[in-house]
Chain A
Amino acid sequence: MSEFLQYVLSGTTVGAVYALIALGFTLIYNASTVVNFAQGEFVMIGGMVTAFLFAAGTPLWLAAPTAIVVAAIVGILLNKLAIEPARGASVISLIVITIGASIFLRGLAGIVFDKQIHRFPAFTGEDPIAVFGATILPQGLWVLGGGAAVLVGLYLFLTRSIVGKAVMATANNRLAAKLVGINTNSMMTLSFGLSAAIGALAGVLATPITLVAYDVGVGMALKGFAAAMLGGMGSPVGAIVGGLLLGLIEAMTAGYLSSEYKDAVAFIVILIVLFVMPSGLFGPRSVERV
């Protein structure tokens, strides 16, 4: 029983990280219908900048927000320099552009920082907390809490604030949003900045547990993308559910079935879900526009 609980705790913690990355994918997708394969690099930037600032003597409470701001700026630059000018390009061209951005950012990070693995201390101690025979790290609670806070904050922002409503309107219908006077370009910039910040936050929260290196981005992007698709691209709730589900499937498979094939089982589940529900668990049931 305590084993089952351990798998649940592990899966939820890892899943929360996936969920935050998936949320980043969803935000950008909603604003621009671009799936940003460089999303994982924001996670890397969050972790690496914090680790380097911390190593240079900056206190964590200052290093972490700085890293998030750096990532947000990178996200905005990415939008301004590569995504906006390519407006109207096909899905597949956009995939190539964002993959190019991901390779570029990774190469840059390898030079600006280094190619070693890094870490900084957990925010509130390293002693595991016992829960009915299973354990969770205090940092795991930070990840879960951070994920929940982002979700609530994002919900309030999108449904209560004028700017947030404008973002949603742009997501629903770009042309209509433009007609009612919304500056859709600013909305895209905002979404990229926000999405990068969320990715970096995931990196900051998770690094004490998962460690960080200049090239962790691809793996993160892959998992986050899979989670977002499982939940249904475009749905923030779907992103969270998809991320948690992916983490839980991996942990359960590793614990009970086969650790060699835990990633395989995760993708098989995704394939089956998509065969039954072609737009994911919470995706919009839209028909193709002709």
Chain B
Amino acid sequence: MRLSGKAWALIALAVIIALAPLAFPSSFYYRVGALILINGLAVTGLVILFGYAGQISLGHAGFAGIGGYAAALIPIHLGVHPVFGLIAGAILSAGLAFLIGRPVLRLKGYYLAVATLGFGILVYLVLNNEAQLTGGPDGMSVERLGLRALSDALGLGLNTSQVWYWFMGVVLLIGAYLALNLFTSPTGRALRSLHDSEVAAGTLGVDVARYKLTAFVISAVYASLAGSLQALLNGFVTPDVAGFLHSIQWVTMTVLGGAGTVLGAIFGAAVLTALPQALTVFKEYEHMMLGLIMMVVMVFMPAGLFPSLAKLFRRVR
């Protein structure tokens, strides 16, 4: 039986997630692993927007903010299980993305960048200023999802970070599966035609505005879920989750890894989430190193780490 590229990608991802813990020197690395997988989910969404549809966003952390605070606030105010907060956040984000998507996506290039940036900052300001509701800049605590309790009840003997690592592994695989499916679907083909040339796609009868909006809404849902999951993992959320720097982090992960493919972006998420941990040995030189690495990678591997390394690997073979 011949497997499609899509299936290979998923199998590779599953194997890596399953085997990576063998290299973890201590259980702390499960937490880094869980964060990588959460960021991986967000950047999978961004691949749909950047890589498939060719649009930019510097404000997707805004949706993470909505997801994060929905997971925090809805259980408190409605007395429901946090999982409903996560779902409500995703619906809210989708709705908001739908509303602002149409006018925003008419803009191009840097104008699109500044408009999405503005959106992210608006969300951040609301979360930061409405202290009565959100706890202000110091943030608020979030009810537990109950994964640890579930694992204990099943007698798995895992600590919080471990439980979350395996849970997020499954979530990311589902997210990647859906994204890869989308890529080969008619919608995906339409989206990719936008990436190559919007005008040409329009001439051929592709409803450009509608497909761009679709990609925007889907990526917003991914970002929102990532925001919710991070809040639930930490049991705590601050407005920084919606901050400009968080948006930039995600963009960097996506582009550094390779914005064109899901695996590439997840690879970027892994590198940039783990890097600061590895760079702590440089103490005060940490930030300089991070900036330097970003520049060097993008200058010498403009397509991103993953495609460039894959090419190198093939050549060596």
Q: Is the CB of B294 within 8 A of A99?
A: yes
Please measure, in the bound complex, the distance between the C-alpha atom of A92 and the C-alpha atom of B104, giving whole angstroms: 17
A97-B294 in contact given A264-B122, A270-B118 (Cβ < 8 Å)? yes
A101-B56 in contact given A107-B285, A270-B114, A290-B199 (Cβ < 8 Å)? no
Q: Is the CB of A260 within 8 A of B302?
A: no
Q: Enumerate chain B residues within 8 angstroms of A148, measured Cβ to Cβ.
A: none
Taking Cβ atoms with an 8 Å cutoff, the residues of A that contact B are 35, 82, 85-86, 88-93, 95-97, 99-108, 110-111, 218, 222, 225-226, 229, 233, 260-261, 263-264, 267-268, 270-271, 274-275, 278-280, 288, 290
A82-B299 in contact given A267-B118, A274-B107 (Cβ < 8 Å)? yes
A107-B288 in contact given A82-B299, A267-B118, A280-B111 (Cβ < 8 Å)? yes
Taking Cβ atoms with an 8 Å cutoff, the residues of B that contact A are 50, 56, 58, 103-104, 106-111, 113-115, 117-119, 121-122, 125-126, 129, 197-200, 244-245, 248, 251-252, 255-256, 259, 284-295, 298-300, 302
20 A-B residue pairings within 8 Å (CB atoms): A82-B299, A90-B302, A92-B259, A96-B256, A96-B294, A99-B248, A100-B292, A100-B295, A104-B290, A107-B286, A107-B291, A110-B287, A111-B284, A225-B117, A226-B118, A233-B110, A264-B121, A267-B122, A275-B103, A278-B111
Q: Is the CB of B292 within 8 A of A97?
A: no
A103-B118 in contact given A97-B294, A229-B110, A280-B111 (Cβ < 8 Å)? no
Of all chain A residues, the one with the shortest Cβ separation from B58 is A95
Please measure, in the bound complex, the distance between the C-alpha atom of A52 and the C-alpha atom of B287, giving whole angstroms: 22
Q: Is the CB of A229 within 8 A of B129?
A: no
Q: Is the interface of B mostly helix, strand, loop or mixed?
A: helix
Please measure, in the bound complex, the distance between the C-alpha atom of A100 and the C-alpha atom of B298, giving whole angstroms: 9
Q: Enumerate chain A residues within 8 angstroms of B115, measured Cβ to Cβ.
A: 270-271, 274
Q: Is the CB of B125 within 8 A of A263?
A: yes
A111-B302 in contact given A96-B252, A226-B118 (Cβ < 8 Å)? no
Q: Enumerate chain B residues within 8 angstroms of A86, measured Cβ to Cβ.
A: 298-299, 302
Q: Is the CB of A279 within 8 A of B114?
A: no
Q: How far is the CB of B51 from chain A (nearest CB, A)?
A: 10
Question: Which 3 pairs between the two chains have the least Cβ-Cβ distance?
Answer: A104-B291, A100-B294, A107-B287
A93-B111 in contact given A108-B288, A264-B121 (Cβ < 8 Å)? no
Q: Is the CB of A95 within 8 A of B129?
A: no
